[in-house]
Amino acid sequence: MSTTVFLLVLFAAFLHAAWNVQVKLNIDRFLGLFLIQTGMGIFGVLMLIFFGMPTGVSIVYALVSGVLHTGYNLFLARSYQTGDLSLVYPLARGGAPFLTLLGTSLIMHDVPTPLATVGIVVLLVGLLMAGLSGIRRAKVDGRTLFFAGGTAVFIAVYTVVDGLGGRVSGAPIAYAGLVFVLDGAFLFVTGLLMRGPVILTQVLPHWKKGLAGAAASSLAYAIVIWAMAQAPIATVAALRETSIIFALVMSARLLKETLTVQRVLGALLIAAGAILLRIG
């Protein structure tokens, strides 16, 4: 992983945390995701106009990714309904790097170096430490934990799919644009089916914030898809989860959630894991 890739993925991690905080600030979590993903679809159309369509075989990956992202958004929205950002975010993201590492190693033989693998494990321990510290005092129940864990599974699977799709496309940014279009279209239809046409009038007053969140999310994931074509998928996926450091700081300052000693130690482990990834 070059320095350029490393720094860009860290930037993507910051952007990812920022739009998740924006969703949490929204009164209705599903409306926030609906608005952001619809906006990403608009940005995806612009990306396809500018970069063109990816190759034929990658379209299948993009279709699968669109379905997986829809499930991810539904599970994430449900998790945020009853769980604190500082709890749900680490748990939802925490299991994904390990599952991604397992999947890419077994399916693709895309194995990071031994030191990078150690970095992934250290980072994962930090993620879980930061997340589990909030179970006692945060709003949480069995269903919240179930949906947060399900979100982690969706993240791991769509990460592998998009890593493969970006590689075979020959144009990772164009592939990302197609994923955004399909993701936005699928969630748009899902929102209409779940809430009816009234959902459009509900999100319209927030369109400016929605476009801002969509811009951050689009740029963040486009960088990740591009990076997974340059470096091992599991390494990029793990480094991306340094977003929890930014999420913890934002949750403390903007959402007034408790920043415990254990969460700080978890964040330090995440940082240590990121350094090992870079060295490895």
* Per-residue pLDDT tens over the stretch 62-102: 999 999 999 988 888 888 777 666 667 677 776 777 778 77
Residue matched to tokens 């930014």 = 246
* Per-residue pLDDT tens over the stretch 56-70: 899 999 999 999 999
Q: What is the pLDDT of residue 22?
A: 67
pLDDT above 80 (res 106): no
| Confidence tier at 135 by pLDDT (50, 70, 90) | low
Closest CA to 69 of 206, 163, 170, 161: 161
More confident call, 33 vs 178: 178
Closest CA to 221 of 5, 16, 4, 1: 16
User: pLDDT averaged over the chain?
Assistant: 83
Cβ neighbours of residue 130 closer than 8 Å, sequence gap 6 or more: 86, 90, 244, 248, 262, 263, 266, 267, 270
pLDDT above 70 (res 255): no
pLDDT above 70 (res 207): yes
